[in-house]
Structure formats: structure tokens, C-alpha cells
Amino acid sequence: MEQTWRWFGPEDRVTLAAARQAGATGIVTALHHIPYGTVWSPEEIETRKAEIASPGFGLTWSVVESLPVHEQVKIGEGDLEPIFANYRQSLRNLAAAGLRTVCYNFMPVLDWTRTQLDAPVPGGATALRFNLHEYVAFDWLILERPGAEEGHSDAVLARARAWHDAASEDDKKRLLANIMAGLPGAYDRYDVPGLRTMLARYRGMAPDTLRANLKRFLEAVIPTAAEVGINLCIHPDDPPRPLFGLPRIVSTGEDLAAILAMVDNPANGVTLCSGSLGAHPDNDVPALARRFADRIWFAHLRNVRKDPDGSFMEAEHLGGDTDMVALVDALLGEEARRRKAGWTHWQIPMRPDHGHEILYDIGRGSHPGYPAIGRLRGLAELRGVMTALEAVKPYG
């Protein structure tokens, strides 16, 4: 697999030099400063390519993560054709610049969501964590969303109430900031009233309505992606469960199968995120990799350890609930199939995702989940798994 590294642009405190020193050859990035729904111009794309190439480290822009989908598309409101047209033009411009893989998500309002960004790990390191009782405390007692307490056990509600009653105003502000932290780059952040207003735009939306809006988007853009040689790959929900009353439609194997059937074209593909899918108790991630192998165009490799109540924590890359060796084996097997079939572009780009904050990462202020040394460790461990498997298995 092509070893890649997420970089948030020139303002990222983790530099391109760090990516190269970690052993990556490809960069995963986006034009975060461009508003949603606006065309990515050839000039902006070439500027980013030059920023990656100019240090002379041998790095290339390998994957676009992400070309965002405008919120109007997810809601299905207004005249969407101009937004679709701009998205298609951005795809054409990216293809003209040599880009072939575009990751995107269809999560309403929020991207990945955690309640704690500095959960302690033995030895003084920290990790990202989703504590169900803190999420419920925010949704039920701070956001005061009607019906937020429904579907949760008495034990979780009691813990949520206890957390809320003991929390200071700073604790509550920190929880809001943590929940917003999954929105990288120049994305909107919301205060509590602003989040209430945004959620109101989705009030009463059923999962089937969100699926219909995704299908409309795919029908509008996949033919262009296929024409210009770009593979679009949807990222799973993170976490894979409804949040704040919002529907989630990219959480299970059946969800992925339904999405790929909406527009049955190879350009309509999947980002295999082992952490997002792995947080769902019913998902066998290596089995999903084998099931959807021919439509996986990008992989996020990370691990989580789940708690019985639905909470989870980012684990070491090889130490969580997902059998990472079996998952890497499935992806290497698919690469071998593509190579034997004569594909020119047979490699699956992968990146280590959501590393622990360790050693000199601590206190450095990198994007949450994206420290230098924690990801270096993850990439090294994954590289070791790949090297060992390739030494003993006849992938050909």
C-alpha cells in the first residue's frame, strides 16, 4: 500500500519534513480555506501541489481529503444544480492536475466527534475518547434537545446528570470545544445556540431522506468523476451512530452496500476507515474489507477499544478491537488482485489515523488526533505488518 500522511496545509504544526521522516511518500490534504460549494480553481490546486513538492522531499499530493459536500446538499434544500456544477468542475480541475482519489463524507453538521481529546494513556500519553455519558450530558442537559434522553439506559442518564451537575462552566465550554474539534481547517464552529439552529434545519429528517439526498448527489457527480478518472470514496460515520437527532447512513456493511448500489460505477467507492467502522459493535472490519475490496480506493488505518455502554477510545494501531493484521492482509490481497489484472494504478493509499499524543507531541498544539510522533509510531507499526505479511504470503 502507498504510505501517506495527512497534512492540513502550510499552517499545520506537523511539517512536510516530519511526514517524510516518518516514511510517507504521499500527502493527503485539501484546500481548507476555500468555502464549501466554491470551485477549486486550477491555480489553487497547482499552488498546493507546489507547496508539497517545493521542499524537495519526494512527496506528492496523493489523495484529496476532502472535497466537502455543501450542507444544502445533505439537507436537500434550494437549487442544488449550481453546487453540483461547481463540484463537477472541481473534479475536472483536480483530474487535470493529476489527482485520482477524492475522499468525502456525508455526515450532517459535524465531522468526527469526540468528547475528550486528552484521555490518559499509561506513561503520560493522551488519546481521543468518546464518552457516552458526556455526549448525553451535552445533548440532553446543555443543548437541551427535546427527546435527547430517549434510548439511553438509566445508568447512562444517571452518569450524564452527575457529570453535568459537577461540571463547571469551563468544563461545559471545553466539552463543546471538544465536540467541535473534529471540524478541521476553516470549517464552521458552533456555539450552543448556533448548533441548535443548525440542527433545526434537519428536524424530522428520516434516514431514507438523507439517503435520497446522497443518491441525488452521486447521480449528479459520479458520471463526471468516472469520465475524468477520479474515484470518489465516501468516509464512514464517526462514530457510527445517530448523534444529536441527526440520521447516520454510512455506519454498517449494509449501509455501504446500499450506497455503492445507488450508482453502480467503480468511481463510486469507499474510504475504508477501520476506526470509524470498528466503533460499531456489529462490524467485522476485515470482513468488510474483503466484501467491498474492489471498491476501496483509500484506507484510514487506526484502532479503537469499545466499552459496553457505547463509549470507545482510540487505541494503539495494533492494540484495539480490530484485527489489524487480518485487515492489512485483506487490503494487500486486493492490491495483488489488481496488479495481476494489469491495473496501472493498483496501490491503495493508506494513512495512519488518530495517533496518540506521545513524547514531544505533548502540548505542541497539533490538530487533535494528528500529532507527529504518535502517527509516526502508527505508520511504523503498520509498515512492519505489511513487510512481515509480504515476506510470508504469496501475494504475487
Q: Which residues are catalytic?
A: 235, 273, 300, 353-354, 370
> What does the alpha-carbon distance between residue 183 and residue 113 come to, in Å, rounded to a whole number?
9
- What nine digits make up the cell of 215? 443518491
Q: How far is CA 263 from CA 214, 226, 257, 290, 294, in A?
A: 10, 11, 11, 20, 15
Question: For 163, what's the count of Cα atoms within 13 Å in the CB-facing half-sphere?
Answer: 22
SS3 126: strand
> What does the alpha-carbon distance between residue 305 and residue 289 come to, in Å, rounded to a whole number?
19
Question: For 263, what's the count of Cα atoms within 13 Å in the CB-facing half-sphere?
Answer: 26
Q: Which residues of 338-374 are buried (b: 16+ CB within 10 A; e: fewer)?
A: beeeeeeeeebbbbbbbbbbbbebeeeebbbbbbbbb
Q: Nearest Cα to 278, choosing from 255, 251, 259, 247?
A: 251
Angle among Cα 283, 243, 114 to the nearest 5 degrees reads 80
- What nine digits make up the cell of 281? 459493535
Strand order in the sheet with 116-121: 116-121, 125-130, 312-315, 303-306
> What does the alpha-carbon distance between residue 59 and residue 53 come to, in Å, rounded to a whole number?
6
Using only the alpha carbons of the chain, give its radius of gyration. Answer: 20
Amino acid residing at 364: R
Q: Nearest Cα to 7, choosing from 55, 58, 63, 54?
A: 63
